[in-house]
Amino acid sequence: MTTRKSRSTAQSAINRLELGEHPDLGDIQSWIEAKNGRPIVIGELSTLRGNDICGLWFLHEGRDYVLHAPLNSSWHRQYIILHEFAHMILGHRCTPTSQRLVDLPGFPGGPIQVLGRVSFEDEDEAATELLAGLLMERLSQARDLPSDPAGFSKVFG
């Protein structure tokens, strides 16, 4: 569901981003890291299968983790990461009801809290998707690549 409100939310969010002329994924990452004052760790999680959930974002011991399913396409991988970045840029820091506990391999100390996939209002998820699309466009312009070669417009966790 795309509404005027989610469109303007996404648009004003990207207008506030201070990115250089030719930003890459790392520039967006640095911008978020500076804003939130903590590092972001991006990694692949082989147990994510991609048909249900392609990416997730959570805070663990002072770091933001963005994990994605193993993907063949670097374009797809970038899109998933940008979707999670968009949640961060929009300030979707979890409320208790938007979190669920999951067990992740490699993270000792028991289950950790991640964003619940169905936790957001449609409006928030729509704004996230739109912002991810706008970010994708910025990166594509910088590299002169087609912005949506496969026609992806799906919503990921």
Query: Which residues are near Zn ion by CB under 5 A?
Result: 128
The DSSP bridge partners found for residue 60 are 63
Torsion, CA 111, CA 77, CA 127, CA 21, rounded to 10 = 130
Choose between 9 and 128: whose C-beta lies nearer to Zn ion: 128
70: helix, coil or strand? coil
C-alpha dist (Å) from residue 102 to 32, 58, 106: 25, 10, 12
Q: CB-wise, 29 or 128, nearer to Zn ion? A: 128
Which residue's CB atom is positioned nearest to Zn ion? 128
Q: Please, what is the minimum distance in Å from the beta carbon of residue 154 to Zn ion?
A: 10
User: Which residues does residue 46 pair with via DSSP β-bridges, in sequence order?
Assistant: none
Which CB sits closer to Zn ion, 6 or 128? 128
> Min. distance of Cβ 108 from Zn ion in angstroms?
26
Residue 120 CB, shortest distance to Zn ion, in Å, is 7
